[in-house]
Amino acid sequence: MAAIRNFLLTASVASVAVASSGGTLKSCLKYALPDIGSVAFPGDLFYQAVDVNRYNLNIHVTPAAVTFPTSSQQVAAVVKCAADNGYPVQAKSGGHSYGNYGLGGTDGAVVVDLKHLQQFSMDSTTWVATIGSGTLLGDVTQRLHNAGGRVMSHGTCPQVGSGGHFTIGGLGPTSRQFGAALDHIVEAEVVLANSSIVTASDTQNQDIFFAIKGAASGFGIVTEFKVRTEPEPGMAVKYEYTLKVGSTEERASLFKKWQAYVSDPNLTRKLASTLTLLDDSMVITGTFFGTEEEYNALDIGSQWPGVNGSAIVFQDWLGLVGNWAEEAVLQLGGGVPSNFYSKSTAWTPSNLMDSGTIDRMFEYIDSADKGTLAWFVLFDFQGGYTNDIPTDATAYVHRDVLVWLQSYSINLLGSVTQTQINFLDQLNTLVTNDKAPYSAYPGYVDPLMANGPEAYWGSNLARLQQIKEEIDPKNVFRNPQSPSPAN
């Protein structure tokens, strides 16, 4: 840890032109970002609707300012203005935090909107791509394709921003083969709380590199990534099996068969699978990265007889990604702001739900008052490459997870009700047998969860708090559930 402090005291960092620290936040930011439209404040026309633009309408938050820097140097200038005037800072890339944490999560933060950081290049020798942290996932896919038919793992919603997604986890259909998005990062440019601009990698500023790969929002603002890429998969088969309605027993039986199938340690990493529970159906979807003949050899349909199935063969990568994007739109509105509540939890191969717990889960789901018809529960199959990485290699700690649960409750008519919250809370309690702290995915934050940091970062939390003490002791980069300094 001392090495970090010494580095910060002696390193040559980019100069930052800002107003004197004695100035107000407003005058400081206007001096740092002189271009028209580069900073907005409460009271400005359309401030909430355009500049703030909350994703979760159920969580009201008013930032002290929203800034739109165009370079790492301007990001650093904004951080200095905020820190000198005692304001917390949070970065916003795509703005899809379930707790509006990119807006601070509570009133009074300085928001650094990264949308102008769109730089991209590809080293055709190493196939390492340089990506600006304001790039949306849809643009990441297209630019990697145009630069030599390359890919990296990430989620399927094209409007999600890379700045948050790459640094919190970044799971997607190819993660079993290539890892999470953060596993692709080989180097990052980071603005720290003292407004210095540093490079972090496995060989320099290793503690910072550890922290940004899973918990970046509490440690700095990544302005640029260098990521390893893979060749685009060739053919792929997109499959879907649907059980319409079905009795409680039939639904539980199908879930047990799916869980048994995906928990086979010998199952190919080319297969991705998700089971979705809806009000009137149960759907198993996924992608097999290979030929139609290879897919047919798996004989997936025989695993759940009597369930209607279909498959689509994709010859090109962009066609497959476009299909995933269409599905994302049908789930949580595809990036459209709404009033919703969400929770997550996970299972490892050693603590999967037993038969009795699965039965109780479906009995509860079929009988509980949900408070809305707009709800769904996803069970995402992970494992594979994501399990190959040691737990303490990155801040992202969930290296033994085989299945993630994501539950959602949406109110299309107004604020989320307590009935909706109770439905998801009690579901989590039931499926985990009330064992706290739960494991929770840090990309699906639950602002109402009391033990958030423990659930998100587990055994890595203590190290994160020590790093925080070294590089951000005044807790400049913070949201309601980010790691706090050790002291």
Q: Bridge-partner residues for 346, per DSSP? A: 404
> 236-459 is classed in which CATH architecture?
3-Layer(aba) Sandwich (3.40)
Residue-level pLDDT at 18: 39
What are the φ/ψ torsions at residue 345 (nearest 5 degrees)? Answer: -160, 175
Side-chain half-sphere exposure of 143, counting CA atoms within 13 A: 19
Question: In the chain, which residues fall in CATH 3.40.462.20?
Answer: 236-459
pLDDT of residue 13: 39
Quote the pLDDT of residue 23.
58
pLDDT of residue 317: 78
CATH 3.30.43.10 maps onto the chain at: 2-115
CA dist 409 and 299 (Å) reads 34
Q: Rounded distance, CA 304 to CA 296, Å?
A: 15
Residues of the chain with CATH 3.30.465.10: 120-232+461-465
pLDDT digits (tens, 9 = 90+) for 24-71: 999 999 999 999 999 999 999 999 999 999 999 999 999 999 999 999
The whole-number pLDDT of residue 17 equals 41
List b or e across 325-359, with b for residues whose CB sees 16 or more CB atoms inside 10 angstroms.
bebbeeebbebeebbbbbbbbbbeeeeebeeeebb
Q: How does pLDDT run across 292-313, given as a tens digit for each residue? A: 999 999 999 899 887 888 889 8
Any bridge partners for residue 286, and if so which?
A: 239, 273
Identify the residue whose tokens are 């807006």.
Answer: 103
d(CA 465, CA 472): 10
The CATH fold of domain 2-115? 3.30.43
185-191/375-381 β-pairing: unpaired
Distance, CA of 220 to chain centre:
16
- How is domain 120-232+461-465 classified at the CATH fold level? 3.30.465
Contact 334, 155 (CB under 8 A): no
Nearest to 213, CA basis, from 392, 446, 343:
392
pLDDT given for residue 45 in this prediction: 95
Contact criterion met (CB below 8 Å) for 224 and 130 = yes
SS (H, E, C) 28-84: HHHHHCCCCCCEECCCCCCHHHHHHCCCECCCCCCCCEEECCCCHHHHHHHHHHHHH
Q: What is the distance of C-alpha 364 from the center of its chain? A: 28
Task: With H, G, I as helix, E, B as strand and everything else as coil, classify residue 163.
Answer: helix
Closest by CA position to 87, among listed 37, 45, 134, 41: 41
List, in order, residues 6 or more apart from 224 with CB less than 8 Å away: 72, 117, 119, 130, 131, 132, 133, 188, 189
Q: Is 121 helix (H, G, I), strand (E, B) or coil?
A: strand
With a CB cutoff of 8 Å and minimum separation 6, the contacts of 381 are 176, 262, 271, 272, 273, 274, 286, 402, 403
Q: How far apart are CA 467 and CA 471, in angstroms?
A: 6
pTM of this prediction exceeds 0.95 = no
pLDDT tens, position by position, for the chain (487 residues)?
A: 544 444 444 343 333 443 333 359 999 999 999 999 999 999 999 999 999 999 999 999 999 999 999 999 999 999 999 999 999 999 999 999 999 999 999 999 999 999 999 999 999 999 999 999 999 999 999 999 999 999 999 999 999 999 999 999 999 999 999 999 999 999 999 999 999 999 999 999 999 999 999 999 999 999 999 999 999 998 999 999 999 878 999 999 999 999 999 999 999 999 999 999 998 889 999 999 999 999 999 999 899 887 888 889 888 877 877 877 766 655 555 568 999 999 999 999 999 999 999 999 999 999 999 999 999 999 999 999 999 999 999 999 999 999 999 999 999 999 999 999 999 999 999 999 866 657 999 999 999 998 999 999 999 999 999 999 999 999 999 999 999 999 8
Kindly report whether the peptide bond that precedes residue 88 is cis, defined as omega within 30 degrees of 0. no
